[in-house]
Amino acid sequence: MASRSIAFRALAAIVATTALSAPFAQSASAATTPARTTTVSASEENPFRWMDLDGLRAEYRFMCPAGHCVGYWSLVLTDEVAKRSYRGGEFFAYAPATGEFGFFLNTDIATRTVRHPRQVRLVDSEFTRSHPRFEVRYGDPAQPKEARVVATATTWM
């Protein structure tokens, strides 16, 4: 069990670093382009712009792990959904078609579940790109089919 926990933490760190470093690398390469200034607004870089969001919204934020600031897009619960009363469970990202779970970015650590609605933060990851529909559910992650669906994201192909 301890080795699973260590492996999970290592995987979480890799996922978070990969997700957060992509926008930074893109910005660095754009900044070094000589004699051409291209301004790209944050809304144009939004990886979630093609998704139909219900109960979620895209948010652009900055994080400065180890003093190196990076900007990144994430999906968070809308204010209306976050204000609802939640008791006796946990939030988790779930793809009902495959039964797979995603990860939330809690500060700079990827976690499978969170307890508070303001901690729900999904970054652009393999999970969000590989599932045409995923949901944020609240309840017992051991029984995902009985958990309450609080938000959904759908990519129409």
Q: Which residues of 98-127 are buried (b: 16+ CB within 10 A; e: fewer)?
A: eeebbbbbbeeebbbbbeebebbbbbbbeb
C-alpha span between 34 and 93 (Å, rounded): 42
pTM: 0.71
Residue 44 — pLDDT band, cuts 50, 70, 90? low
Q: How confident is the model over 111-124, as a mean pLDDT?
A: 95
Per-residue pLDDT of 10-26, as tens digits, reads 444 444 545 544 444 44
Range(s) of the domain holding residue 15:
2-155
Number of domains in the chain: 1
Q: Is the pLDDT of residue 70 over 90?
A: no
Q: Is the pLDDT of residue 57 over 60?
A: yes
Per-residue pLDDT of 76-106, as tens digits, reads 999 999 999 999 999 999 999 999 999 999 8
Selection from 22-36, 56-70, 139-153 with the highest mean pLDDT: 139-153
Q: Is the pLDDT of residue 27 over 80?
A: no
**CB of 153 within 8 A of CB of 134?**
yes
